[in-house]
Amino acid sequence: MRICPNCRLITADERRCAECGWNIESSTDRAVSVAHRYTSSLRYMSLFSAAMFAASFIVVFSMKPGATFIPAVAAGLFAAGFVADVFLVWLIYRAAALFHEAKLWTLGAVLTFPFGTVVFGLLLARRVRLAEKGSAKP
């Protein structure tokens, strides 16, 4: 006996629920597509966040005395990197929830802000991609 995740009724240990018709195959296909979406989002957001922070530091260090426009550009790049990093932490939390390790990955990403978040995002994207390949095998 088990509980059907769709209708929450106790049902037999079969692949299809007798009450609502939910089956196990449809949920595993959805989990694989979610994992694929998280993999691409984590990679791209990690690289975007790193590029924004690096660009803001490069702009700040190339600034000449008396410049008025360059500090605004650097602040804008830093703010874009910060917003991307916050979104990256959210993506890390959601993707790590697939492995039931959301708190550990999120805590590590937050404590190593800003560039450690990029590393955690890329490592988690690799783990999700490898898990996706492993679950796709029969």
Angle 93-101-118 from CA coordinates, rounded to 5°: 45
Q: Regarding predicted confidence, which is higher, 6 or 116?
A: 116
pLDDT band at 138 (very low <50, low <70, confident <90, very high): very low
Indicate whether 134 pLDDT > 80.
no
pLDDT digits (tens, 9 = 90+) for 54-107: 999 899 888 888 888 888 899 999 999 899 899 888 888 888 887 888 888 888
Q: Which long-range CB contacts under 8 A does 32-35 form with residues at least 24 apart?
A: 32/132, 32/135, 32/136, 34/98, 35/95, 35/98, 35/128, 35/129, 35/131, 35/132, 35/135
Between CA 78 and CA 54 the distance in angstroms is: 9
pLDDT in tens, 11-60: 666 667 777 776 655 554 455 566 667 777 888 888 898 899 899 989 98
| Residue 136: pLDDT over 70 | no
As a whole number of Å, the end-to-end CA separation of the chain is 25
Q: What is the pLDDT of residue 137?
A: 40
3 vs 83: CA distance, rounded Å = 40
Which one, of 137, 112, 111, 106, lies nearest residue 124 by Cα? 106
Q: How far apart are CA 55 and CA 61, in angstroms?
A: 10
Q: Where are the domains of the chain?
A: 31-136
Residue with tokens 């609502």: 20
pLDDT at 31 (0 to 100) = 52
Q: How far apart are CA 130 and CA 17, in angstroms?
A: 30
**Model pLDDT, residue 69:** 87
User: Average of pLDDT values for 98-125?
Assistant: 85
